[in-house]
Amino acid sequence: MRRTLAACAIALSTTIALAAQDSTVRSRTEIKTDDAKAVSMTGCLKQDVAGNFTLFGTIAKSKEGITTETKVRTENDRDESKVTTTTRTQAEDGRVGTTGTMSTFMLTPRQGVALSQHVGQQVQLTAIMVDPDHKDAEVKIEEKTTVDPDNADSRTKRSKSEVEIERGAHGHYTVMTVKPMGTACN
């Protein structure tokens, strides 16, 4: 009986230690477009009572494509967790239009992108706005995410997709990817 209780106590303490381990998540998203602007947005994701999504934050634009690299480091102690996020965005054509001031952007998620689970959080979005003189745009997306927990093997996931995006309402951005930044909105 004592051995059974000791084994259970060891298993429980190992489970708790594993659940609270430090980790680093690195991700890279590359989006290329024709007949559209690719944008990277960072800010607070909100949803109104009618179900419409908005982002209050900043934006970086590119005509041909955009690559975003994000690193989220989580350090867990007994009483607290510390989350550090670093993001870098680069335009394919070398030109980036940015807004240094905070603005509100109207969002429409593409099929398969779930925004509702991130409402009230700081997020980084990659989105597309089809040029006004075109009916639609072809978009190529490549994503790579590596989860590297301390004291364990890392795991990498890669995906590639090509989609055709119809021009939406004027001023709306079609969200292609969403990444939580690890903090709640203020």
Section 104-123 average pLDDT: 90
* Beta carbons of 26 and 145 less than 8 angstroms apart: yes
The token duo for 65 is: 């494509």
Tens of pLDDT, residues 38-48? 888 889 999 99
Closest CA to 57 of 119, 114, 115, 125: 125
Residue 18 binned pLDDT confidence (cut-offs 50, 70, 90): very low
Question: What are 40's strand-pairing partners?
Answer: 60, 126
Provide the pLDDT for residue 165.
77
The token duo for 167 is: 């021009």
Provide the pLDDT for residue 17.
44
Q: What is the CA radius of gyration of the chain?
A: 20
Section 69-74 average pLDDT: 80
The token duo for 86 is: 């670093």
How many residues in the chain? 186
Provide the pLDDT for residue 30.
82
**Where do the structural domains in the chain lie, given as residue ranges?**
22-184
Average pLDDT taken over every residue of the chain: 77
Residue 162 to residue 143: CA distance in whole angstroms = 12
How far are the Cα atoms of 16, 65, 139 from residue 176, in angstroms, in the given order?
Answer: 36, 13, 9
Q: Where are the alpha helices (DSSP H) in the chain?
A: 2-19
Prediction pTM value = 0.64
Provide the pLDDT for residue 75.
84
Residue 14 binned pLDDT confidence (cut-offs 50, 70, 90): very low
Question: What are 104's strand-pairing partners?
Answer: 56
Provide the pLDDT for residue 94.
56
Residue 93 binned pLDDT confidence (cut-offs 50, 70, 90): low
